[in-house]
Amino acid sequence: MSDSKGPSGQNPSADKPQTGRTELSAFGEFGLIRHLTKNTELQHGLTVKGIGDDAAVLDPAGKLQVVTTDLLLEGIHFDLAYTPLQHLGYKAIAVNVSDVAAMNAEARQVTLSLGISNRFSVEALEALYEGVHAACRRFKVDLVGGDTTSSRQGLVISVTAIGEATEDELVYRNGASQGDLICVSGDLGAAYLGLQVLEREKSVWLEHPTVQPELEAHSYPIGRQLKPEARIDLVARFREAGLRPKAMIDVSDGLSSDLLHLCDQSNTGALIREEDVPIDPACYELALTFNMDPINTALNGGEDYELLFCIAPEDKDKLEGFTDVAIIGQMAPAEEGVKIETKGGNRHELVAGGWNHLWPQNAPKED
Ligand code: ADP
Ligand code: MG
């Protein structure tokens, strides 16, 4: 690669005018909002009024509503050197829909607010909204509003998602009890490893801008990092199987931290087994090349956006057909603590973000 593009092949922060670059000033605030939101489709009759008035109007259809919000800051939550804006728009919606799914509810609407500087062109924001619209279609949510304001420098994205469920369907973090089976969907640790690959390629590129980044070989973990999916499919399948998890959370901070939240709020302990924690085989090998213990990427990596949930043991049969759900352990009395049994048969206390506590020799370098 001989030009000055980052590993993702784009450079949204270029100061130099490029061909096809439209300055934000060409539109003005209201024109920009109209331009960015003109392709917004409403998919639900439950959205009575979307973008365009002082507030959106929603019909909860007699159900309870859930509301969740996430703030994404450039330099803290994402790095535009390797994050394509389409993916960022998609991820901003997906992570909020994931929080709604973790309540066993269905997301219906989202709002999206932006802080932008003139470093961004209209085309860059169009790319962001392409991702937003793609996620809205994929997760069947309506974009019903937002706010647009200028920021001195960094990009700020705030998304709020609104969802619905009946009282019987809603699942909280606090409903688990001793003996419940601990289940997790998909595999864990890949998003964290994807980030490691992107960071590695970024530092290679900063030193040798002409070197082609090696991304294709790791498209799975990179995709898990840049464009995560919310597991709304599982919520639908729970309904079909007549299965109501007793407690649930989405894995955003890492299995350790999120299991500790379930245990803390449910007032239980837990015992999980290392050998049952799902890790993609290629990611297992990739972790080793980073000199990391693969189980640590699953326990402490985060951003997997899989669902971690507990079911009553008598509901185990209802999990039949859920081929991508693993039972990784069982809830225990609170006094027994929250532990992992390693493949070697040793038991360790789980600590949130506990790299250094579990396997000190594999702690990442601080430099
Ligand atoms: P107000 O002055 O009431 O804040 P705005 O002019 O900011 O209204 O917004 C006009 C309409 O456009 C509202 O429906 C608002 O929700 C929507 N909107 C504003 N910014 C965005 C955005 N970035 N994405 C989607 N909708 C937006
Ligand atoms: Mg406004």
Q: Which residue has the tokens 């470093």?
A: 119
The pLDDT score that the predictor gives to residue 276 is 98
Measured from the alpha carbon of residue 148, the closest ligand is 1
Statement to judge: residues 304 and 186 lie in one domain: yes
Contacts of 109 (CB under 8 A, 6+ apart): 44, 46, 47, 56, 58, 141, 142, 143, 144, 161, 162
Q: Which of 13-22, 97-106, 147-156, 338-347 has the lowest mean pLDDT?
A: 13-22
Predicted confidence (pLDDT) at residue 1 exceeds the cutoff of 70 = no
Could you tell me which of 165, 151, 128 has the C-alpha nearest to residue 39? 128
Question: Which has the higher per-residue pLDDT, 54 or 20?
Answer: 54
- Nearest atom of ligand 1 to the alpha carbon of 113: 23
The pLDDT score that the predictor gives to residue 29 is 87
Statement to judge: residues 314 and 185 lie in one domain: yes
pTM: 0.91
The pLDDT score that the predictor gives to residue 211 is 83
What does the buried/exposed string (b/e) look like for 171-182 if buried means 16 or more CB atoms within 10 Å of the residue's CB?
A: bbbebbeeebbb
Quick one: average pLDDT of 63-75? Answer: 97
- Nearest atom of ligand 1 to the alpha carbon of 55: 14
Q: What confidence tens digit (pLDDT) does each residue in 285-335 have?
A: 999 999 999 999 999 999 999 999 999 999 999 999 999 999 999 999 999
Query: With a 6 A CB cut-off, is 114 part of the ligand 1 pocket?
Result: yes
Statement to judge: residues 159 and 190 lie in one domain: no
Distance 223 CA to ligand 1 centre (A): 31
The three-state secondary structure class of 213 is coil
Query: With a 6 A CB cut-off, is 38 part of the ligand 1 pocket?
Result: no
Could you tell me which of 60, 96, 65, 75 has the C-alpha nearest to residue 230? 96
Residue 310 in tokens: 């507990």
Question: Which has the higher per-residue pLDDT, 354 or 147?
Answer: 147
Distance 149 CA to ligand 1 centre (A): 10
Distance 154 CA to ligand 1 centre (A): 20
Statement to judge: residues 140 and 65 lie in one domain: yes
- Nearest atom of ligand 1 to the alpha carbon of 145: 16
Say which amino acid occupies 214: E
Helices 85-101 and 232-241, axial angle in degrees (round to 10): 30
343-350: list long-range contacts, CB under 8 Å, 24+ apart: 343/274, 343/275, 347/271, 350/256, 350/259, 350/260, 350/270, 350/272, 350/299
Distance 49 CA to ligand 2 centre (A): 16
Statement to judge: residues 195 and 263 lie in one domain: yes
Statement to judge: residues 290 and 185 lie in one domain: yes
Residue 321 in tokens: 């057909």
- How crowded is the C-beta side of 34, counted as CA atoms within 13 Å? 6
**Would you say the C-alpha torsion 261, 67, 139, 132 has a positive or negative sign?**
negative
Q: Is residue 201 part of a domain?
A: yes
Statement to judge: residues 133 and 40 lie in one domain: yes
Predicted confidence (pLDDT) at residue 364 exceeds the cutoff of 50 = no
DSSP 53: B
Query: With a 6 A CB cut-off, is 247 part of the ligand 1 pocket?
Result: no
Query: With a 6 A CB cut-off, is 145 part of the ligand 1 pocket?
Result: yes
> What is the band of 353 on the pLDDT scale with cuts at 50, 70, 90?
confident
The pLDDT score that the predictor gives to residue 7 is 45
Predicted confidence (pLDDT) at residue 359 exceeds the cutoff of 90 = no
Q: Is residue 172 part of a domain?
A: no
> What is the band of 53 on the pLDDT scale with cuts at 50, 70, 90?
very high
Cα distance between residue 251 and residue 344, in whole Å: 26
% of the chain residues with pLDDT over 70: 91
Total structural domains within the chain: 2
The pLDDT score that the predictor gives to residue 16 is 43
Measured from the alpha carbon of residue 112, the closest ligand is 1
Statement to judge: residues 131 and 240 lie in one domain: no
Predicted confidence (pLDDT) at residue 235 exceeds the cutoff of 60 = yes
Statement to judge: residues 160 and 227 lie in one domain: no
Distance 44 CA to ligand 1 centre (A): 20
Query: With a 6 A CB cut-off, is 207 part of the ligand 1 pocket?
Result: no
Statement to judge: residues 141 and 203 lie in one domain: no
Query: With a 6 A CB cut-off, is 297 part of the ligand 1 pocket?
Result: no
Q: Is residue 4 part of a domain?
A: no
Statement to judge: residues 213 and 342 lie in one domain: yes
Q: Is residue 220 part of a domain?
A: yes
Predicted confidence (pLDDT) at residue 62 exceeds the cutoff of 80 = yes
| CATH number of residue 71's parent domain | 3.30.1330.10
Query: With a 6 A CB cut-off, is 135 part of the ligand 1 pocket?
Result: no
Question: How distant is the alpha carbon of residue 137 from its chain centre?
Answer: 17
Q: Is residue 135 part of a domain?
A: yes
The pLDDT score that the predictor gives to residue 18 is 52
Cα distance between residue 21 and residue 42, in whole Å: 29
> What is the band of 14 on the pLDDT scale with cuts at 50, 70, 90?
very low
Query: With a 6 A CB cut-off, is 31 part of the ligand 1 pocket?
Result: no
> What is the band of 19 on the pLDDT scale with cuts at 50, 70, 90?
low
Quick one: average pLDDT of 64-73? Answer: 97
Quick one: average pLDDT of 31-38? Answer: 94
Statement to judge: residues 100 and 222 lie in one domain: no
Quick one: average pLDDT of 60-75? Answer: 96
Predicted confidence (pLDDT) at residue 365 exceeds the cutoff of 60 = no
Q: Is residue 216 part of a domain?
A: yes
The pLDDT score that the predictor gives to residue 197 is 96
Ligand 1 pocket test: which of 32, 33, 155 has the largest number of ligand atoms within 8 Å of its C-beta? 33
Residue 198 in tokens: 């992107």
Quick one: average pLDDT of 343-353? Answer: 92
Predicted confidence (pLDDT) at residue 352 exceeds the cutoff of 90 = no
Q: Which residue has the tokens 């901003």?
A: 92
Beta strands per DSSP E along 306-350: 307-311, 325-332, 338-341, 347-349
| CATH number of residue 212's parent domain | 3.90.650.10
Ligand 1 pocket test: which of 116, 122, 147 has the largest number of ligand atoms within 8 Å of its C-beta? 147
Domain housing 117: 27-165
Phi, psi at 179, each rounded to 5°? 95, -20
Contacts of 13 (CB under 8 A, 6+ apart): 80, 119
Q: Is residue 170 part of a domain?
A: no
**Length of the chain counted residue by residue:** 367
Q: What confidence tens digit (pLDDT) does each residue in 182-230 have?
A: 999 999 999 999 999 999 999 998 899 888 877 888 999 999 999 999 9
Query: With a 6 A CB cut-off, is 52 part of the ligand 1 pocket?
Result: yes
Predicted confidence (pLDDT) at residue 6 exceeds the cutoff of 50 = no
Q: What mean pLDDT value characterizes the chain?
A: 91
Q: What confidence tens digit (pLDDT) does each residue in 95-112 have?
A: 999 999 999 999 999 999
Query: For residue 238, what is the enclosing H or E element?
Result: helix 232-241
Q: Is residue 358 part of a domain?
A: no
